[in-house]
Structure formats: C-alpha cells, structure tokens
Amino acid sequence: MPGALQERRWPLDALDFPEFSQAIERSVRDEGLVGYELLRKKAANHGGKLTGTYLRITIGTNLGNSPGIPYVLEIWPSGHQSPIHDHGDSFAVIKVLHGQINAYYFDSLQSPGPNQQGPPATLKKDDVTWISNDSYQVHQLRNESDQLCCTIQCYQYGQDDTQHYEGFRFSEDGKPVSACAKPFLPDSDMAFGEFKKAIKKEWYAYQLERMR
C-alpha cells in the first residue's frame, strides 16, 4: 500500500468557520439540506443508489494538465463509497482532512480483473497518500466509519503523458470494463467558495433557530 505520511496543514475547520465539518455532516445527513440534495441529484444521474455517491467540490479552475479541475474536496458521508475506478493514468496526492476512509486497491479494470490486492488501507485525518500512472491506479474509496470523511485530492498527468485521457474508467458492480464503456468525466458538484458559503448560511440559520 502507498505509505501514509503525517502532515498538518490545510485545516478544513479554519478560523473563519470552525464548525465547517460539523455543518457538512449535518447537511449531507438531513433531507432538504444542501449536501443531501446534491447527493440525491447525483444518485439520480448515476444509477440511483445514494450510498454509491460522494460529492466533488472543486477548487479553482481546470489548468489543462489533469482530468478535470486538479484540486477537489471530496465529501464522503458515512456508508458511502466510490465505484472501483482509475484516474486516466494521472498522478494524484490525497489527504484526509476529516474522519477516516478505507482505500481498496485492484490489479486492473480489464478482465480477469478487477481483483483486490491485499487488505484495504485505513487513512485517517492528516494522512497523505498517492497514486501514480502505474501504481495503485485502480482503487475504490469506502467510508466504512460512522462519521463523515472529507479528503482533498490533487491530480496531474505525468511529464511524458501525451494522451491526457480525460476520463476515469470505472467498474460497474465489480465487473471488468468493456472496451466500449463510457468513462466518468470528472465534473464539479459545486465550486468550493459557493459550497462553503451555502453550508455556512445553512449552519448559522440552524444555530439561530436553536436559540429561539
């Protein structure tokens, strides 16, 4: 498994909104709130299963050297997971900002794969891990804990990558990917600034309501 390094920067619960993670947790849990509704919309567009979704909150713009926008805050409610997927042969660095998540690794998306390689790695708050174009490329993240997990990812194509494959190939129900299968084009569920503003507004309205 890729080594988990310890690093202490980029707090999610920064001074301008110290309850951010708590507010996200509430928002993804309760029907009608911003996070839950984004997940529901996403599930409706991707097979209908709510626990098969997570939120991609993008930070900044596409710099033309990664599949989609390179910096992404990912929101993983308890019990949610990604499909088994690759990253268009790009490199990535992943840091856990809140909670914990299990990373499962697979040999290949092609037949006779995907076959799991070893036990999952449990990545905890402040752990940093990575994937490269030829190591740990096919993986699945599962939040098997009972609390929210938030990760930040950064993607970039290798220097000798002249293909710039824009999609993430993914397995449906653990089956091999056929040559004609359409990849997932990494998109944005909401921009970071807009997301933080919406969650903050929702959280302070809730606090105000509790004080009445």
Which residues define the annotated binding site? 85, 87, 139
Which residues participate in the annotated binding site for Fe cation? 85, 87, 139
- Exposed e or buried b for every residue in 119-148, given b needs 16+ CB within 10 A? ebbebebbbbbbbebeebbbbbbbbebeeb
- Helix/strand/coil (H/E/C) assignment for every residue in the chain: CCCCEECCCCCCCCCCCCCHHHHHHHHHHCCCCHHHHHHHHHHHHCCCCHHHCCEEEEECCCCCCCCCCCEEEEEECCCCECCCECCCCCEEEEEEEECEEEEEEECCCCCCCCCECCCCEEEECCEEEEECCCCCCCEEEECCCCCCEEEEEEEECCCCCCCCCCCECECCCCCCCCCCCCCECCCCCEEHHHHHHHHHHHHHHHHHHHHC
- The residues, ordered by sequence, that sit 6+ positions from 122 with a Cβ below 8 Å of its Cβ are 100, 101, 102
Show the tokens assigned to 212: 């009445």
